[in-house]
Amino acid sequence: MASNEEITGPISQEDVEAADKLKNEANEYFKKQSYNNAIELYTKAIEKNPKNAVFFANRSIANLRLENFGYALSDASKAIELDRSYTKAYYRRAAAYMSLGKYKLALKDFEYVTKVRPNDQDAKMKYTECNKIVKKIAFEKAISVDKKEVNIADSINLDAMTIEDEYIGPALEDGKVTLKFVTELMEFYKRQKKLHKKYAYKILIDVKAYLQKQPSLVDIKVADEAKFTVCGDIHGQYYDLMNIFKLNGLPSETNPYLFNGDFVDRGSFSVECIFTLFSFKLLYPNHFYMSRGNHETLDMNRMYGFRGEVSSKYTSQMADLFTEVYNWLPLAHCINGRVLVMHGGLFSKDDVTLDDIRKVDRNKQPPEDGIMCELLWSDPQPMLGRAPSKRGVGCQFGPDVTNTFLQRNGLDYVIRSHEVKNDGYEIAHDGKCITVFSAPNYCDTMGNLGAFITMNGKDLKPNFTTYEAVPHPDVKPMAYANSFFNMLCQ
C-alpha cells in the first residue's frame, strides 16, 4: 500500500498552521457539545493536513457522541495507521468497537497498548476492565446455552411476592392495568417513587404474553375523521414524555398513539418511561402501539444505561426479563395500508415487500444485516443510491431507494425516528421520508426541539408539533451507563 506522503505529497507549513487553527476551533465546538460543527471543522483540518493522527482521533470521539459508530471506527483506525504509538486512538477505536458490541476487538486494542506501554497503569486498568466484560458476556452466553429452555417470564413466582403494608403506591386492580392505575403511576413517578416489584413483574409478563401474539408488521386502521399520533425516540426522558401527554392528551381509544422505538437508554428515567408506556399498551392494546428500536436490544442496554438502571431500581433478573420482552416488540407498523412506520429505515436490497417484513422471525437479538437489522438501524441520505452506514450497522439509503420501495408496496411515505433533528423532525426525499425525534435537548446537551406527528385517517397528512425540554430532577443522563464506557468516551 502506498504511504500517505506518496498519496498526498508534501504539506506546506501554511496548510499545517491553517489545519491546527481549524482543529482548535473544532475543539471549542466540541467543548460546547456542538458535535456536528466540530466534525465539519475537523474534516476541514484533515483536508489541509491529512497526516495528523490527532485530527482523526478527535473527529472519532465527536462521531462517537453522535452515535456514528462506523465513522468513529474508521477515523480511529486511520489515526492508528498514521501513528502506531498514539494511545488515545486505540481507546477511541475500542469505544467504537464496544458501541457496536464487538468487545473482543476492543480487548485486542487494549492488549496492544499494554504490550507497547507495559508501565502504563491506565492502559492496564482498561485492559482488565474490558477483559472482565468479555468474560462476563462469555459466562452469560454459556449459562443461556445451558438454560435455553428456561423462560424467565414463566419462572417468576408472583404469588411469592408480598405487598408490604408500608407501600402506598398505585396498585393493579384484580391484576389488571386500569386508567386509575396508570394515572396514579404517572404522578407517582413524577415524585421519583418506585412501583412495587410485584406489579412491575406482572406488567412485563402480561405485555410479553400480548406481544407474542402480534405479527412483526402490525396493520393499524385509522378512521377518516380520527386523529392518530406518532412519536419518535423518548430515550428515558420521562418528564418530556409527560409533556407530550400534556400537549397532545393522554392516550385513549379516541386518542391513539404509536411510539416508534428507543423508549430507553441515555436518559436516566428509562424505567419510568417503559412502565408508563407498557401500562398504556395493556390498557388500550388496540389504540396504543410500540415499535422496537435499536436500543431495545441487549448490547445497547448494557452500554447506555437501561440494564444498569433496571438492576439498580429492581434486579438483574428483571433486566433479563426486559430483554425477553423486547424481543417480541413489532418491527414496523403500517397505517391504513399507506404509511409505513419503522424505527430505522429501508433496506440494502430493492425487492423487500411488506410481506417480507411480516415473515421476519423477530424473537431474537437483531442480526448484523438483513431486514430486521435495517428496520432498526438504517438512515436516509440526500444522495441517490446506497452507502455504508455511518453507524457501522444497517445502510444509508437515498431518495431513489425510498421511491422504489414505496411504489413496489403501494405506499405514500415512510416515517422513521432514530436520529436527533434540531427541529425535532425532518422531511426528506421529496416528502416521502419523514424523521420524528421526540426527546428534546437530547442527553441534556444537544439543544434540539422534540416533535410528534399528528394526522387524520382520511388524508394521512403529517402535522408537526414541536416543543422544548422541560425541567427534570437532578439525575444526569447516562447515570446508570457502563462506567467503563463513559470513561472511554471522555
| Positions marked catalytic | 295
287: nearest Cα among 185, 196, 218: 218
One-letter amino acid at 185 equals L
Separation between Cα atoms, residue 425 and residue 446, nearest integer Å: 14
265: nearest Cα among 227, 226, 228, 309: 309
What b/e string do you get for 52-91 counting C-beta neighbours within 10 Å, with b at 16 or more?
bbbbbbbbbbbbbbbbbbbbbbbbbbbbbebbeebbbbbb
Q: Are 234 and 295 in contact (CB under 8 A)?
A: no
Separation between Cα atoms, residue 197 and residue 199, nearest integer Å: 5
One-letter amino acid at 417 equals S
- As to burial, measured by CB atoms within 10 angstroms (0-12 exposed, 13-18 middle, 19+ buried), residue 447 is middle
Extract the C-alpha cell encoding 160. Answer: 411469592
Q: Are 220 and 336 in contact (CB under 8 A)?
A: yes
CA–chain centroid gap for 382, Å, is 22
DSSP code string of 194-238: ---HHHHHHHHHHHHHHHTTS-SEEEE---TT-EEEEE-B-TT-H
